[in-house]
Structures are given as C-alpha cells and as structure tokens.
Amino acid sequence: MRKLMWFTIGFTGACIVGVYLISGIWLAVITAICAALGIGLCFYKKKLGVIVLIGALGFGIGAGWLQLHDAVYLTAARNVDGKTLTTEIEATDYSWKTDYGTAVNGRVEVDGRRFQVCVYMDEMTIRPGDVLKGEFRFRFTAAGGKQDATYHPGKGVFLLAYGDDSISVKRQETIPLRFFPAKLRKNIQDTIDTAFPEDTVGFARALLLGDSTRLSDQDDTAFKISGIRHVIAVSGLHVSILFSLIYVFVGKRRIITAVLGIPILILFAAVAGFTPSIMRACIMQCLMILGLLLKKEYDSPTSLSFAVLVMLVANPLSITSVSFQLSVGCMTGIFLFSGKINRFLLRILRVPKDKSVRAKLGRWLAGCVAVTVSATAVTMPLSAYYFGTVSIVGILTNLLTLWVISFVFYGIMLACLLGVIWMPLSTAIAWIISWPIRYVLLVARSLSAIPCAAVYTSSVYIVLWIVFCYVILCVFLLQKQKHPFVYLAGIVISLCIAVTASHMEAKTENFQVTVLDVGQGQAILIQSQDKTYLVDCGSDSKKDAADITSQFLLSKGINRLDGLILTHYDEDHAGDVENLLYRVQTDVLFLPDSADDGDIKARLIKAFSEDICWVSEITTRSGKWGSFTIYPGADNKDDNESGLGILFQAEECDILITGDWSSAQELRFVQTTDLPELELLVLGHHGSKSATSFPLLSATKPKTAVVSVAKNNGYGHPAPEVLRRLEMFDCKVWRTDLDGTITFGR
C-alpha cells in the first residue's frame, strides 16, 4: 500500500496549502473533513478509506508542524524584521561580488536561535569562519514580514542582513575544519578556473558544482530554451553519475560501496551547497545503497517519499524552492509514466530482445525519450510558471547531449584531482574535456536558435495550449483503449494553432504599444503595421528584463526589431540590452551620444558597433506606418538629463517617452518643441516627483499615462505629487506594479 507515500502526500499537501493558500484553523478543518471522508469510505471501499485516513493523518501532522515551525522558530527572525541591531555574524562560506559590493552567507544568533543569513555590505574579502561585527539592518525573507517574501526560505535562509563600511572583521588564522566543504569547493573552483580554457570554464563549474556564475547569460538562456537546463543544476543526474563511478570502482562490493559511497555522496552534497535537488537525490541514493547492503528491496516511490518527508520536517518552507519542486516533479513523472512510455516505444521501434548493437541502441533511445517525456509531463507547468518557457526541442537536445555528460563529468573530476598533484597534467586533461563541452554548448546554442525552439507563457494562447494538453492527458489516461498517436496529434495541432494565433494577434491592430512589466525598470514595445521598435530594456529588480522582453517578442513571432532606442545608460533602462540582442536582433541601435558612468556604452560599442546610430541632434524616421522623432537631451554630464526623448505618432495616436528627464529638462523641451496633445504619456523617471511637471502636462494634456515601476519599490514611485498632478488633468493612470504588462492598441 506504500503507507509512507500516502502519509508524505498528505504532509506535503499541508505544506503547500499552508504556504500558498490558507493557514491556521482552516488547515485543521481540512484535516477533519479528510479524516471523516476516510472513515466513511472504509465502510464501502476499505483500502481507499485507509489511504484517505493515512493522507489525512499526514495532512494534520504537516499542518501542525508548519504552524509549530513558524511559531517557535521563525518568530524570532520575524521580530527583527526591519530593525538595525549591533551583532556578530559568522561567515560560513567565501564572499562573492555583487553589483553593489559584497555578499556572504553566514550564521547569526537571534533570541537564542541560530539562523542562516545572507549578508550584503561594502566590498571586502571574507573567508569561512571570519566573524563580522557591527550594525546590521535585517530583513525577514518569509511570508509575514514587512516586505514580500523572497526565494531564500526554500534554501533555509530566513534573514538578510545589510551592513556598511563600519563593519569590522575578526579573521581566523586558519579555516575551521567544519568549513572543509566550503574550502574544498573554493579549491575546485580555482582549479577549474586555472586549468580550463575561458570558453569552457563556466560550463565546467556549473556541471560539477552547480555554480553558474561564470556561465554567460547567452549560454544559460540557450540551455533553458533547448531544454537541458537541468544539466547545469546539480541534481539526481549528477548523483547517479557519481554513484556509478563509485560502484564500478569498488567492484560492486556491497559493504565497500556503503562505507565509501555514503560519505562521498554526503560530501558531494555539502560541496554543492545542500540545494534541495541534491539533498533529495542523495537521500534516495543513500537509501539504495543501504538496500544493497541489507539485501532489501528498493522501492523508488517510497524512497522519494522518505526524502521529501525528511526535507520538509527539516524545513517546511523547502516547498517554496523551485529546485525542490522541479526535482520532486521530475521523479514523480518518471515513476508514473516512464515504464509505460518505454514499453510503448520498444514496441513501436520493434527493438529486439537480444544483445545486438541495434537492440542496445534501441533500448537506449527508448529509455532516454521515456525519461525525458515523463519528467516533462509533470514539470512543464512548473517551468512555464517560473521561467515562462516551454522547450519544444528538449527531447532532441537531451538525445544529442546526455550521452556525453557522464564522460565530461568524470573528466572534470579527474582534472580537479590531478590539479592537486601537477597542474600541467590537469590543464592537459581539461583541454581534452573542453572539446566535448564545446559540443554540448554548440548543440544547445544551435537548437535554441531554431525558430519556435521554445514557446512562452507571455502569450495567453500558449497558456491555453498548456491547459488543453493536460485536459486531453487526463482524458487519455481515463480511456480504456488508449490511442497515443491521436493524443500526440492533438498536442501538435493545438500547438500550431496557438503559435499561429500568438504571431497574428498584433497584426489585427494597426498600432499597438506594450509597456512590459520588468519591475523597477523600463521596456516599451511599439508596433505599427509592419514596423517594430523597442525603447529601453533594463531593470534593477529581481526580474530579468532581457528574459521578459525576449519571451514577449518571440511569443509574437518577432525575432528582429526595426530599431532599439535607449533613452540613457542607467542599468534600469539599458542594463539588459546586450543580453536581449543575443536573442533578438535589431536593424539599428539608437544611442544617446553622451557619457556613461558605467561600462554599458563600451560593451554595446564593442558588440554592435556596425548597427549603432548616434543621436546628437533631432532624428526622425517616418513611413506609412507613422513616424518617430528622437530628441537629444541637455548637453551636460548628467546621464538622466542628457538622455533621449521619443515622440511616436501613428494612426492619430501620439506617444511621448522622456526616459529619466527631470522637470528642468522637461521645461527646456516644452519651450523648444511644438508638442501635440498626447494619447499616451510614459511617466518620466518611473513616476518620480522630480518629473512629469506642470509645464509638460499643460503642453501635452495626456489622456492616459503609464508608469513602469516595481511593486513596493524603495523609491516611493510613483510619487503622490505626480498622481495628484495627473488627476488635475483628468488623466487615467496605469501602473505595471498593479496592472502588470500593459497594452494599448488602435
């Protein structure tokens, strides 16, 4: 009956409901209803009734444990939310650079309880065991704090701490032994950085350690679109590869396998950072090893249930981790569907049961497809929700690359081991291994570049297609006589309809403006007949403007822009342009001929010099589709004031975008420019009180205004003064923080 599995399902359900839906007394009510249902079913179908009762027991205990964890443990962390305290924090890892300084993981004691904390401060170098002392402002990361919850609770980090240059560091002469995994991880990273060529360093670090910090954004996107992002997120694949090596190395001896295998797997998990996916895989693998040792039958669903239960007992908020959800979802899909799919493929391919090459190749092909399809069947909604992407070429990419991943993994390990002995030999091995790495990168880049290699949930038609797929999957599973090819045909035909509808949607209107929700930043798409222009692409929030913008464009069938205009070089307007242009090309890149305090301008010149049009005077483009006029800003060193303003005119619709101009520059603009009355005004500087002035509003009398702004941003945008001014002009206001992505059409 797999009682542990049904208990874990109930326990997990309580965590999901308690974290995402309801809490408190309602969890107890649901438990009582389920228990009553189980008792009732026992009189009719005893087995089903017992299953429901076990699930209800798990749900009740899970609900109680979730509440207890919050009340007893998290309350201490919640009480310091928003407070500045003088305290000590022990670093548990090496520091890393951020856009604003340094970050490091550590431990802090609050009201007698120890919490994992991520510390952000001015730039400095920290090692494990160093003690940071000074004033820190704390932020609670889970729900119920003064700000929205972050992704940290799923990793067991419930506090963020912010320090300044007054922080002192008490350094340890030697790194304590308890931080050996962190030290080993750093040594492996240094060896990879030294031994491997620059173009393969990022992949080597990601594959072995799950560290994608050196992987380019372009390659990371290619892996996501091509459907093999799981390869560079340390998970069950890597654990199984490592275990296979151990098992073969010890000659398949059960006792030696257990004595060596379990400690090595635990060390590997520690070096990889104890991510939820690696913990799940290691627990299951250790159970398999113990099963071999004790000569007990290994049951995969029970093993998965035990792993999930252990992780949720340790931290009920692990349920919020994307890594946890995808990892458990993959295994669930494999257990449910892979066997049946594999048998179906073996029958269709007519694979013989002998040991011939054809038979082995057929079984390998059927196995790879079965595992990929079954895992995707459960994880596709998660990938669509969290990443906005569903890979269409994923099965092909996995077939072309997974066969080489094991050899690459072993080669990277060998290079790291030889680095301890003699670095030149390590470099030689790394040079050899780099060629299959380049093959994997080439496959991912090539397949991700295929039109419609992936579809994106920024299109409502793709969302409807995903829902349709699962509706007909349910119908398929409930049928006694199953017709797989009919089901597959339905998926393919409906996908073609959804993609066609997505591509045709904008063509139904002559003119369309879309202000994308990229958080605290700006990205504005303007489509007029057969012309497509984008203004800005940047964000300083956790949202990736390049991802959001490219997904929206590609979902509309737009893989090339007629022009991309940057108002100025601030990160929240231009920071993601380079990444975007590796996915979506542009005929012309319009840039302000002004100074840049950072390196965005230099990077764009280096990468796209042939496509740049420098705007130092009024520039106009026009045609049957309409026209746009680009106005240079003030001739000074201020990046905001020297940025560009853009006036689009089409189909009796006038739209003005002023970037981050202040009221002073707006006044100069109004005094020197004959402006029409506007149908749409994009608020300057994200609704800052220093922009969208009375002179500008008086001259343009906008009917509608839109502000691109993040929810609960720290700047107070849009400012109340600006909203009052717009109200005086009877101007309707739309906000991306409240309304999401906003589209205007005529």
Confidence of residue 416 (pLDDT cuts 50, 70, 90): very high
pLDDT at 506: 67
What is the CA angle 641-646-648, rounded to 5?
Answer: 165
**pLDDT score of 746 more than 70:** no
pLDDT at 447: 93
Which residues partner with 119 through β-bridges?
104, 161
Q: What's the whole-number mean pLDDT along residues 512-521? A: 91
Provide the pLDDT for residue 474. Answer: 87
Q: What's the rounded Cα separation, in Å, for the pair 644 and 628?
A: 12
- Name the nearest CA neighbour of 641 among 602, 685, 686, 605: 685
pLDDT of residue 564: 94
| 436 CB-near residues (< 8 Å, 6+ apart) | 404, 407, 408, 411
CA-to-CA separations, 280 to 208, 286, 323, 327, in angstroms, rounded: 17, 10, 10, 8
377 has a pLDDT exceeding 70: yes
Coil, helix or strand for 348?
helix
Token code pair at residue 76: 């201490």
The residue among 596 and 487 whose pLDDT is bigger is 487
Q: Are 548 and 561 in contact (CB under 8 A)?
A: no
Encode pLDDT of 43-62 as tens digits: 777 777 888 888 888 888 88
Look at residue 478 in the predicted model and tell me its pLDDT. 82
pLDDT value, residue 429: 94
Element (H or E) spanning 742, and its range?
A: strand 742-745
Q: Percent of the chain having pLDDT more than 70?
A: 98
The mean pLDDT value of the chain amounts to: 88
* Per-residue confidence (pLDDT) for residue 114, from 0 to 100: 93
The encoded tokens of residue 142 equal 């889970």
Distances (CA, A) of 10 to 48, 189, 371, 650: 14, 41, 26, 58
User: What's residue 26's pLDDT?
Assistant: 76
Burial of 128-156, coded b for 16+ CB within 10 Å and e otherwise, reads bbbebebebbbbbbbbebeeebbebbbbe
Cα distance between residue 275 and residue 730, in whole Å: 52
Contact 733, 742 (CB under 8 A): no
Distance in angstroms (rounded) separating the CA atoms of residues 167 and 87? 10
Give CA–CA dist 648/635, Å, rounded.
Answer: 23
Nearest to 607 by CA among 263, 43, 218: 218
| φ, ψ for residue 423, nearest 5 deg | -60, -40
Where does the pLDDT of residue 454 fall: very low under 50, low under 70, confident under 90, or very high at 90 and above? Answer: very high
pLDDT at position 82 over 80: yes
Q: Mean pLDDT lowest for which of 93-107, 128-142, 246-260, 643-657?
A: 246-260
Residue 137 pLDDT: 93
Query: Listing from the earlier edge strand, what are the strands of the sheet with 612-615?
Result: 612-615, 589-592, 563-565, 531-539, 521-528, 511-515, 742-745
Cβ 631 vs Cβ 659: under 8 Å: no
Q: Which of 565, 605, 557 is nearest to 586 (CA)?
A: 565
H/E element holding 499?
A: helix 484-505
Non-local (6+) Cβ contacts of 339 within 8 A are 370
> Can you give the pLDDT at residue 638?
65
Is the domain spanning 80-175 CATH 2.40.50.730? The answer is yes
Residue 23 has pLDDT above 80, yes or no: no
* Res. 569: pLDDT tops 70: yes
Q: What is the pLDDT of residues 668-726, one digit of tens each?
A: 888 888 888 899 999 989 988 888 989 999 999 999 999 999 887 878 889 899 899 99
pLDDT of residue 52: 82
Angstrom CA distances, 154 to 182, 276, 317, stand at 20, 8, 5
pLDDT in tens, 291-300: 888 888 888 8
The CATH code for residues 509-745 is 3.60.15.10
More confident residue, 264 or 641: 264
Q: Which residues are CB-contacts of 481 (< 8 A; sequence separation ≥ 6)?
A: none
Two tokens, residue 427: 């470099």
Q: What is the mean pLDDT of residues 241-251?
A: 82
Q: Please, are residues 378 and 332 in contact by the beta-carbon 8 Å criterion? A: yes
- At residue 536, the pLDDT reads 93
Q: Considering the chain, what percentage of its residues have pLDDT values greater than 90? A: 38
Tokens of 732: 């309707």
**Distance between CA 11 and CA 730 in Å, rounded?**
53
pLDDT above 60 for 1: no
**510 three-state secondary structure:** coil
Residue of 221, 79, 213 whose CA lies nearest to 159: 79
CA–CA dist 736, 713 (Å, integer)? 12
CA–CA separation, 283 vs 341, rounded Å? 27
Half-sphere exposure of 97 (CA within 13 A, CB side): 3
Q: pLDDT value at position 432? A: 95
Return the closest-CA partner of residue 632 out of 621, 647, 642, 622.
Answer: 642
Q: How far apart are alpha carbons 631 and 622 in whole angstroms?
A: 15
Residues composing the chain: 746
Question: What torsion, rounded to 10 degrees, do the Cα atoms 243, 247, 248, 251 define?
Answer: 170
Backbone torsions φ then ψ of 722, nearest 5 degrees: -65, -45
**Number of neighbours of residue 110 by Cβ within 10 angstroms:** 19
Cβ neighbours of 322 (radius 10 Å): 17
Confirm if 722 and 694 have CB atoms less than 8 A apart: no
Distance CA 123, CA 100 (A): 8
Rg of the chain on CA atoms, in Å: 28
Please list, in sequence order, all residues whose beta carbon lies within 8 angstroms of the beta carbon of residue 441, skipping any fewer than 6 positions away.
199, 200, 203, 219, 222
Q: Residue type at 444?
A: A
For residue 536, give Cα distances in angstroms to 250, 257, 583, 725.
58, 57, 15, 26
The pLDDT value given to residue 543: 63
Confidence of residue 98 (pLDDT cuts 50, 70, 90): confident
SS (H, E, C) 156-205: CEEEEEECCCCCEEECCCCCCHHHHHHHHHHHHHHHHHHHCCHHHHHHHH
Residue 51 CB coordination number (10 Å): 21
Which of these, 151, 159, 161, lies nearest to 317 by C-alpha position?
151
Give the pLDDT of residue 165. Answer: 75
Tokens 């073969």 sit at which residue? 248
What does the pLDDT read at residue 636? 66
For residue 303 the two structure tokens come to: 């093993």
* The predicted structure's pLDDT at residue 637: 65
pLDDT, average across residues 372-387: 90
